Structures are given as C-alpha cells and as structure tokens.
Structure 1
Amino acid sequence: MKPAAFDYHAPVDLDEAVGLLGELGEDAKVIAGGQSLVPMLALRLAAVDHLVDLRRVGELRGIEVRDGALWIGAGMTQAAVERSAEVAEAVPLLARATRLIGHFQIRNRGTIGGSIAHADAAAEYPAVALALDAEFEACSPRGRRTLPAREFFTGWWSTALDPDEVLTGISFPRRAGRSGFAIEELARRHGDFAIAGAAVALELDDGERVRRCGIGLFGLGSSVQRAAAAEEALAGAVAADVRPDEIGRTAMTGLDSIPSDLHGPPEYRKRVGAAMVARAWTKALQEARNG
C-alpha cells in the first residue's frame, strides 16, 4: 500500500520547524528517522495532511555534557548512540539497550528522539529513560520547557508533548558511585518488539544497601511504566538479603493493563516480566558490587 497524500515540509532550523507546527497545528506530524511512522503511513494506520521532516535541523544533533548530565540531541541516530564511547561510559544502560533495537538497518536511520516520542509500550528507550529519571527538552512557538520522564509517557503511543512541540533533546544522569545497570527482554526473534522486558538502574551505598533502584518495564501495559512496588521494597534494603525472584514478582504488582495478543495472555506476560526483572536485578547488582 501507499500512504495517503500529504504536503511535505523540510525546515532547515528549529525556529522554522516549530513555526510550521504552530501554523499547521494538529494537521501536521513531525518525522525524524521514519522507522515507525513511515510503515504506519504506508499501511494507512495513520494519515497526516502535513509531514514536517526534521533531518536538516542541526540543533537536534549532538552528544555533550550539560549541567552535569549527558545531553543527547533528539535527532541523533540510534547507531550513533550505539557507537558513542561517551554514552557507553556515562550512560551504559542506554548503550546496552540500543543493541536490542531492531536491526542495524533500522538503527542507522531511527533516532533516539523518534523512538521516545513514538512512545511504543514495548520499546526499550522509553523504559531506560524512566529507570534513569531522564529529562526531556521540548520546544514550541511558546518557548522551551523540560519534562521529567515520569510525566512524559501518557498512554498508547501518546506523550505529554503538545501538537506544536518538538522534542529537542534528552538529558541522562551520568553514572556515579557504586552503580550497576542491566536490561533484559524476551522477544520471539532478534529484532522483534519485546513480549516483556525490564531495565534496571541500581546504586549501592558503602554498606551495600540500596541507595537507589529504578526499574522500567516495557511490553507490560499501554505504556512503559515504573515498577513502583518493587522500587519501594528495595529502598534501603541490604542487597544480600534481596531475593531476585521475589523482586520480580513484586514488580508485577499493580499492573492492570497488560495486553493479551497472539504472543500470549496477560498471565504469561507477567511471568515473563517477573523473570526479566529478576535477571536484570541480578546483573545490575553484580556490576554495582564489582564497580
């Protein structure tokens, strides 16, 4: 199939891009790498009157330290994130998650901002952003604002971005202290979206108590989400006393919108999700202890 007809716009800078969105309103849709939107348009699962292509907007590219955090431009390709030694050192969870995204052809075109703004419930980047308490920068004709990851993802393929806003960059806390990171997922085939997965970001104090643990879940609801019950149970706990299988089961507490599809019913996804949390916790703990 072919997409329905639309008008194509290719702004050369951010001011022009947000100006177009302000003028065109909800009739416009931005495109970055196009690895999610183009198939949806081709299958006519989505339709737009105006397509605003951000590939020429240089302000959306770059990787640099800003205010102590690692800022990554929303227009950076996933392949560039994967190759970056700075990302691997400062935000290892993001680097490890990137390898799980699709295939290298997709990562060569897909962007970090596009994946996050698309907000697929089974995608890795949104879960990583949640686990790390990342912050998102957005720009509109009204100016710029920052949104915390906890408030960004609002439901099925939806975010807190307004129709005339562009996601410009993401700020990730840099690795510090005795920290460990891991991401685990189960997919039918390499490159498929995960049936269920978990991203864990852990920090221990000198007494091997849990100073912080963020757990992002994906494939287990209408949106990515934090495993709030498990995080609460882990706060201040002695790491040696934590049973991985118990934390995995606790992480499934309160999940009330687990999908049922050809991959399995909600009960199956919960079992898979619990196992992924347990595995990711175990690996993150080992790294934190060795680090």
Structure 2
Amino acid sequence: MKPPPFHYARPDDLGEAVRLLAADEDAKALAGGQSLLPMMNFRLARPSVLVDIARLPELSGLRREDDVLVIGAGVPQRTAETAQLVRETCPLLGLALRHVGHHQIRSRGTVGGSLAHADPAAELGAAAVALDAEVVVTGTSGRRTVPAADLFVAPFQTSLSAEEVLTEVRLPIRDVRCGFAEIGTRSGDFAIAGVAAVLHLADGEVTEARLVGLGIGGTVQRLPKAEAELRGHALEDGVIDAAARAAADATSPPDDLRADPRTRRAALRSAVQRALKQVSNA
C-alpha cells in the first residue's frame, strides 16, 4: 500500500507551521504519524501537503503550573506514560496510555496527535474529557483554549479550524480517584468499548463522578445515567453493578465489522465494572 502523492514541509517554528496550513486547505499537520499515515496508505486521507510539526520546540515539554499539569502536544505518549510527574499528578493518564496500541506505537505517537485525530475509540480522548482537561490551540487569529468536552464533534473531526495547531494539553490536578478499562478482541487492538472514570469520595460516599465511554458512538461521551447511580452512595458491588447497567442501557453504539450494538453494550458494562473496581480497591 502506498499513499497518494503529497508535498512535505518541515517548518522551523510554530508560526511558520500555521502559515503553511493556512495556505492550503488540503494541508495536514504531521506529528507522530501513527494514525495519519495508515489512513493515507488506505487512501482514506489525501492531504496535499504534510506539515511536519514533530520537532517544533513550542510543542515539547511536560511541567506543572500550580494545580495544572501541562503536556506539550508533541510529547510522545510513551514519555507521558512513564513520567513520574504524570504518575504523581494525573494517574488516569498513565492508566489510559497503557491501552494505546503497542509500545512501538506509543513511542512515536504523540499526546496532542491522538486528541487532534479524534478517533471515537481513542483512550486519550476519554481520559481528557473525564479529567475536565483543556487544549490550547494556535492559528492565524492567535491562541485560544478549548475544553476537551467541546473538542470532539464527530468521528475524526474536531472543533478546530484547518489552520489551527493543537499545542498543549492542560489537565487539572485534583484529589480524585480514577480507573480505566476497555474490552478489545486482543491486546493493542481498537477497543470494542471502554471507560475512563474519575470520582471524588468524601466520608466513603461518591460526591462527584465523571464517566466517559469510548468506542460506543461517534465521539467519546459522558455517561450521565451511570454517574447518577454513583453519586451519594458508597462504592459497593451493588452500586457498581447498577452504574454499569445504566451505562449499557443508555447507549446506542454503532453496528460495524468489529462488533454489533449488543456486544458493545456488554463490553461497556464490563468495562465500567472493571474501572469502578479499580477505584474501590485503590
């Protein structure tokens, strides 16, 4: 398999990258390339120009700013997965990243690239929404901040304009418990269904719950009925089972070659149970 013809550009800075993207509506930013290049090989994507942003200094770095973990969009997923700072401040991110493809994929794929790709079965998208993250993007009109919940609009589509580059991810650092689980045919495959869970407990009861499912629709999505089953209760087996049933019953997953809706609902129910068990056993 070979991609269709394209031009290649490697800008020296972020400003030049934005100008190159703005100059051609069919141009596409290239970071790790772990999702874009296979799509090009299958002729599912046909960019006229690849603008290589992988080595831009503005997209690097991983740091803490007060109560926010800031990750440059160009940081490799494996780097974020193994970083001590991530484990200490945002453990859900590490839990989610373990499920992204294989070691080789995570070594090349970037944090920002996964979010910008907007795969509805992507682990990082679910984690970002569950953590109430924000992304910073830069375009011809300057910088702006977009809540992760507003980033994903359709399969492989975001709310960013064509010339905007996702430059960093900002994750609030909070005293919460988290869990992540997904069900797939094999380790490293795309998930049939999965969930990222973020809970706050006080006096043994759930006071806040954010559950975000993946692989169950056109985008990653909150599971409000399951969240409601948790709030105000101790995280016991009966409550966990009720939340898992509510999550499965309230979803309308797609029917495709990998799984039918019934299978996806069953997978989501199991994933919610597993993720909440992680939280209760923490």
Shorter-chain TM-score category? over 0.9
CA contact (8 A) 2:194 2:268 kept: yes
Is 2:255 the partner of 1:260?
Answer: yes
Aligned to 2:187: 190
Aligned to 2:114: 115
Q: 1: distance between equivalents of 2:76 and 2:26?
A: 26
The CA deviation at 1:239 is 3.4
Is 2:220 the partner of 1:224?
Answer: yes
The CA deviation at 1:201 is 1.0
The CA deviation at 1:233 is 3.2
**Could you say what secondary structure the match of 1:22 adopts?**
helix
Aligned to 2:270: 275
The CA deviation at 1:52 is 0.6
Tell me the amino acid that sits aligned with residue 98 of structure 2. R
Aligned to 1:51: 50
Q: CA RMSD in A?
A: 1.4
The CA deviation at 1:241 is 8.2
Deviations 1:127-183 (A, max 9, x none): 10111111111110101111111111111111111111100011111142xx32111
Q: 1: distance between equivalents of 2:68 and 2:207?
A: 19
Q: 2: distance between equivalents of 1:249 and 1:66?
A: 39
Deviations 1:76-117 (A, max 9, x none): 001111220000111101011111111111111100111111
CA contact (8 A) 2:135 2:166 kept: yes
The CA deviation at 1:240 is 4.3
Aligned to 2:130: 131
CA contact (8 A) 2:229 2:242 kept: no
Length-normalised TM-score, structure 2: 0.96
Aligned to 2:150: 151
Tell me the amino acid that sits aligned with residue 65 of structure 1. R
Aligned to 2:4: 4
CA contact (8 A) 2:76 2:106 kept: yes
Aligned to 1:181: 178
Q: 2: distance between equivalents of 1:62 and 1:101?
A: 21
Q: 2: distance between equivalents of 1:132 and 1:253?
A: 24
Give identity over the alignment, percent. Answer: 44
**Could you say what secondary structure the match of 1:259 adopts?**
coil
Moved more, 236-245 or 167-176: 236-245
**Could you say what secondary structure the match of 2:191 adopts?**
coil
The CA deviation at 1:7 is 1.3
Q: 2: distance between equivalents of 1:98 and 1:79?
A: 8
CA contact (8 A) 1:211 1:235 kept: yes
**Could you say what secondary structure the match of 1:130 adopts?**
helix
Aligned to 2:22: 22
Q: 2: distance between equivalents of 1:236 and 1:18?
A: 47
The CA deviation at 1:6 is 1.2
Q: Unpaired segments of 5 or more residues in structure 2?
A: none
Tell me the amino acid that sits aligned with residue 164 of structure 1. E
Aligned to 1:213: 209
The CA deviation at 1:271 is 1.2
Tell me the amino acid that sits aligned with residue 144 of structure 1. R
**Could you say what secondary structure the match of 1:137 adopts?**
strand
The CA deviation at 1:264 is 2.6
Tell me the amino acid that sits aligned with residue 22 of structure 2. G
Moved more, 244-253 or 144-153: 244-253
Q: For 1:30-69, list aligned pairs within 5 A.
A: 30-69=29-68
CA contact (8 A) 1:229 1:253 kept: no
Tell me the amino acid that sits aligned with residue 77 of structure 2. Q
